[in-house]
Amino acid sequence: MHAIVPPYLLARLAATQEPHLAHAAEAARATLAVAREYRPVRGRLDLSVDGDALVVEVSPAPDRVISDAQNRTTLPGVRVRGEDDPATGDRAADEAFDGLGATFDMYWDAFRRASIDGVGGTMAATVHYGVDYDNAFWNGERMVFGDGDGEVFAGFTRSVTVIAHELSHGVIENAGGLEYTGQSGALNESIADVFGALTEQHLQGQSVDEASWLIGAGIFTDAVQGTALRSMSAPGTAYDDDVLGRDPQPGHMADYVETTEDNGGVHINSGIPNRAFHLAAMALGGHAWERAGRIWYLTLTGGRLSPRSDFAAFAAATRATAAEEYGEDSEEAAAVRDAWTGVGVIEDGR
């Protein structure tokens, strides 16, 4: 299942014997035990004046539906807000609504993609899932948010990178999918991180130099020694906590983790392609969604990948996309080549 908090992190929390984290440990155990079932375009008018003429432009608009599970684990829950409804006053419901909208806007503005399915389909989310549920996940048809335990996890709707990450698993599925195991699974996680970061940067109008490149900032309480779940710029540095341990992500193939846990390390080894994207984006500068993000998006949706594509195959595909879009001798093609060289996926000079 596509969930934002890796199982190894929840397992560490579930196993802690720290008395002051007894509630959080129980919440983590309960989160791990819950079984999760996998399961026409609106428009908006933009009016402007050109001389004496009124210019009317129509673009797709999101169709959002937020439901409340009321601390149960039955989906979808009770509908609390639709696209034309006012704010509910419930922080989680309204943050989810805004986060879905920010994700829609990034995909449309940057890539002319209308919603998750590309044809303006409804974006659905459920909040207040379970009791002290320590995760957020995409179940194939909707976003689902737990409230966190309050001791380690403060809640998941407050991070737009979490929301966009999980929704992006739906984009990946619609593009043909990447099997959720080993390197293809790590690419699945990484691509979702890329679009999660781009959504936050697009929302805030940030350049590559202004961006934090953090995934999940704000979902930890102040008791945790860490800033986020993952760092795309410096994998392995997002947290270093007495209970949760140290962020295990590598940023180079020399440190690739061979493991049977976490579907073959999909959340761990995603640090390698994450850093490759960061290197490419930094080399190109400006807004990351304009060139680096475009290359990643066109690679995902352009039919160059198979469900079992590994890091080397994805690197080759992004290089081919960059050459096709910008030219073989372009700055963009060089940035992509150097990025994959920088993380050890391709050899220098190849």
DSSP 3-state percent helix, strand, coil across the chain (nearest 5): 40, 15, 45
In the chain, the amino acid numbered 32 is L
Tokens matching residue 298: 């066109």
Q: Is 86 in contact with 135 (CB distance < 8 Å)?
A: no
First to last CA, the chain: 36
Q: Which of 128, 169, 202, 267 is catalytic?
A: 267
Q: Which of 2, 151, 165, 166 is catalytic?
A: 166
267 is an active site residue: yes
The answer for residues whose C-beta is within 8 angstroms of residue 297's C-beta and 6 or more apart is: 110, 111, 113, 195
CA 25 – CA 155 distance, rounded (Å)? 16
The answer for residues whose C-beta is within 8 angstroms of residue 247's C-beta and 6 or more apart is: 226, 230, 231, 235, 236, 237, 238, 239, 240
Instruction: Return the H-helix or E-strand segment holding 319.
Output: helix 311-326
CA 262 – CA 239 distance, rounded (Å)? 19
Q: What are phi and psi of 349, to 5 degrees?
A: 90, -5
CA 247 – CA 229 distance, rounded (Å)? 8
The answer for residues whose C-beta is within 8 angstroms of residue 118's C-beta and 6 or more apart is: 171, 174
CA 54 – CA 48 distance, rounded (Å)? 6
Instruction: Return the H-helix or E-strand segment holding 280.
Output: helix 271-284
Is the bond into 7 cis (omega within 30 degrees of 0)?
no
Q: Is 30 in contact with 133 (CB distance < 8 Å)?
A: yes
The rounded Cα 299 to chain-centroid distance in angstroms is 17
20 is an active site residue: no
Catalytic residues: 166, 267
